[in-house]
Amino acid sequence: MWGGSTNIPEEKEEKNESYTPPEPELRVDLIMRQKNNKLIYHSSNYYLLANKEWDSYRNDSIRLSPNEDGFITSYSFSGYGPLSIYSNLEFHFQYSKESNNWYLVKTVDMSGYNSPAAAMGIKLGQAKEDNPEYTQAQLDSLEAVMSKKFNKEEIITETPKDFGSIPFPKFRKSHYFQ
């Protein structure tokens, strides 16, 4: 019944030669229901989810697309401390009826400070210590600039124009974490 191969495809397409990806531990299969209610195996990916050792500081998830035409994997990270940042990287896979496969159609990379006010307070305090000659007007101006910087969530979106055509089985998450 099961149609997948147990042979693990080698990860040959690494961009950075010095980088050694951890061995895959989690395998993701797509199992499709037919009109006669029977399930059939469609395809697998060994490099979609994190290895467990990575999970200690990164939370990965898969959720169904709200449009019911695919799924979204999400990799999130959050640091500790007043100057820490968070990041959440999403990969949107969409079904193509023509090729009967799922393709990466969008990546969304969101990042920002966990505690903008705390981070700004520390940096502003350092600036005051380092520059005692600053006038109040200068400090106010600096605070305004910092406020924009620390409260901003950076969002970067990419499409196949940026990364090409990537079907589900060939997706390598490690390409995005080097």
Partner 1 sequence: MRFNTFLIFVALLSFGCNSRKDLQSKEKGQSSSNSNLRSSVIIKQDSIELTSNINLVSEHKEGFPKELLLFVPSEFEFYSFQEGDLNKDGLSDYILIMENVGGLY
From candidates 19, 32, 141, 157, binder to partner 1 by CB under 8 A: 32
30 near partner 1, rule: CB under 8 A: yes
Nearest residue to 149 via CA among 175, 178, 172, 120: 120
Q: Which residue has the tokens 């193509």?
A: 96
35 binds partner 1 (CB under 8 A): yes
> Helix (H, G, I), strand (E, B), or coil: what is residue 96?
strand
33 binds partner 1 (CB under 8 A): yes
> How far, in Å, CA of 51 to CA of 130, rounded?
44
| Least CB distance to partner 1 at residue 160 (A) | 19
Alpha-carbon distance 159 to 113, whole Å?
25
User: Nearest to residue 49, comparing CAs of 17, 76, 82?
Assistant: 76
27 binds partner 1 (CB under 8 A): yes
Candidates 64, 117, 144, 155; binder of partner 1 (CB under 8 A) is 64
Question: Footprint of partner 1 on this chain (CB under 8 A)?
Answer: 1-2, 4, 6, 8, 23-35, 39, 41, 49, 52, 55-56, 59-64, 67-71, 74, 95, 97, 102
